[in-house]
Amino acid sequence: MELSTELKQLFIRTGAALTGSVRRVFMADVVQFLGQGGQRRAETELGWNRGTIRKGQRELASGVTCVDDFAARGRKRAEEHLPNLLTDIQALADAQSQTDPTFTTTHLYTRLTAAEIGRQLELQKGYRAEEVPSAETLRIKTNQLDYRLHTVQKSRPKKKRPETDAIFAQLTQWHTAAHADPHTLRLSLDAKATIALGPFSRHGQTRVQVRALDHDFRSNQTVTPCGIFLPEYNELGAFRFSWTRARMM
């Protein structure tokens, strides 16, 4: 049976207006009306899916209605509901971000929390409160854009305390008195970070080409550099303390 253009448009509009089992049964009726090869013609001429047609044919033959479970398909991504969400998050984060200072990663570190990004979406981007995603969703989207929450240098608290000036003023008095006393010897002691002994890479922080292990295995011996400085004689002595871990037999 040949389908006229008007009849095709009628079937297409009717199928688009129906939903669920009613739509599938209607599609099965049309295929049955078309006769042999109806599924193929419905797919090519009407744009219907053969899987949906077969499901409707089973419902039509058995009289049993299949209940749809659309909720089991899961929620759509937030950017499908809000097409400009990722662009807006990136614009907000770029203004408050810095690169990794060690240049070991390509991450951008931002001072903005997920909750603050939500507030800025309302204030700067005109989002309504009810359409702003949750803080957890914003955190996931921010991480997907390769931003990491990190305290940048400008937002760190100052190390200097109000008592610092008074402490150094008292030290100056003691240093002056010790320098004037011939029976007092001033010493300056300092110890550096403990270093693991072994052929380790040291994270590449050297200009000297050395051979290192492909993995930084645990070291059984460490060394702690120390120094003793005599300010009056301008003499410096360097020492080291070596520690060996007991091996488990």
Q: What pLDDT does residue 249 have?
A: 32
User: What is the tens place of the pLDDT at every residue in 33-59?
Assistant: 888 888 998 998 899 999 999 999 999
Separation between Cα atoms, residue 112 and residue 147, nearest integer Å: 10
Task: Please tell me the least confidently modeled range out of 128-132, 155-159, 193-197, 211-215.
Answer: 155-159
Q: What pLDDT does residue 223 have?
A: 84
Percent of the chain topping pLDDT 90: 18
In three-state secondary structure terms, 161 is coil
Comparison of pLDDT for 112 and 155, the residue scoring more? 112
pTM here is 0.38
User: What is the tens place of the pLDDT at every residue in 165-198?
Assistant: 888 888 888 888 888 888 888 888 888 888 777 7
What's the N-to-C CA distance of the chain in angstroms?
Answer: 88
Cα R_g (the chain), whole angstroms: 37
Average pLDDT over residues 107-126: 86
Average pLDDT over residues 196-222: 69
Q: How many CB atoms lie within 10 A of CB 226?
A: 14
pLDDT tier at 27, thresholds 50, 70, 90: very high
The number of helix segments (H) and strand segments (E) in the chain equals 9, 7
Classify the phi-psi angles of 234: left when phi > 0, otherwise alpha if psi is within -120 to 50, otherwise beta.
left
Separation between Cα atoms, residue 127 and residue 138, nearest integer Å: 14
| 133 CB-contact burial (10 Å; exposed 0-12 / middle 13-18 / buried 19+) | buried
